A and B are shown apart, each in its own frame.
Chain A
Amino acid sequence: MLDAYTLQTGTGFWDPVVWIVVFLVAFLIALAIWLLGEKEYPRDTQAVKPFLSGNVEPEKADVHMRAGNLYWGFTEAMKGYYSRLVPLHTGVLNDYVLWFLGVMALVFVIVGVAA
């Protein structure tokens, strides 16, 4: 649009002024649609709540699905593995260092025997 703001890339161009005009036009169209909307409606009633077959809308916290829920089938299928592995994760650093030293000692023994 304006040469000073236009970046020629060789395969096209980039002009921020064009984008500003596009966003402005889109905003005006959206504003016109919004202004056509019904202004008078009861705001503090069920009219503003979603329709859930007449049921009360539950609290967001009650219906929030955590990422862990997605793995339910996975953890259920490998229950035998997790039931042994999870208790080992105590969160105590000393335990982890002990595990590290123990495994390292085992590795040295195996490597020593093999050599």
Chain B
Amino acid sequence: MRLTKAFNRSLWVFHLNTGSCNGCDIEIVATLTPRYDPERFGIKLVGSPKHADVLLVSGPVTRAMADRARRVYEQMADPKVVMGIGSCMSGGVFYDSYNLVGPLEEHIPVDVFVPGCPPRPEAIIDGVVKAIAKLERLEGEGK
């Protein structure tokens, strides 16, 4: 269903941990606290990729999660953007681990990277703003 433009900025985010140490996950939770309160802008976490506009991926891609990350990405409705969080998104210090299968962008297209180990909530919010800009561009292109 096409929603009205009033909903455009209400980004619903699905968080997927593909092998994170939980550092980024804790910062995501910190971002949701009343100190930053992104929900006043309609930005919140949802429990299903089918409801989400943004796929928020934390951590390097482990062998077990690569296939699942692709599947979750495909299950999201268009238009959608992918945000990668954390320096280890590209492998980082674990780049040559036997259990990693390359950077996230080798598995799904990534639109916004938020580096940091872990990134501060301000950085995550900055990434969300960039995701909003990307979504508005995609909607303008009719995708």
**Interface positions of A (Cβ within 8 A of B):** 36-38, 41-42, 45-47, 49, 51, 53-56
Contacts and interface: CB of A to CB of B under 8 A. Distances in A.
A38 B2 contact: yes
Interface of B: 1-2, 16, 48-50, 65, 67-69, 71-72, 74-78
Nearest to A56: B71
Nearest to B18: A54
A51 B77 contact: no
Looking at chain A's contact residues, is the secondary structure mostly helix, strand, loop, or mixed?
loop
B77 A49 contact: no
B1 A37 contact: yes
17 contacts: A38-B1, A38-B77, A41-B77, A42-B74, A46-B74, A47-B76, A47-B77, A49-B71, A49-B75, A51-B50, A54-B16, A54-B65, A54-B67, A54-B68, A54-B71, A55-B71, A56-B71
Contacts of A53: 68
A42 B79 CA distance: 12
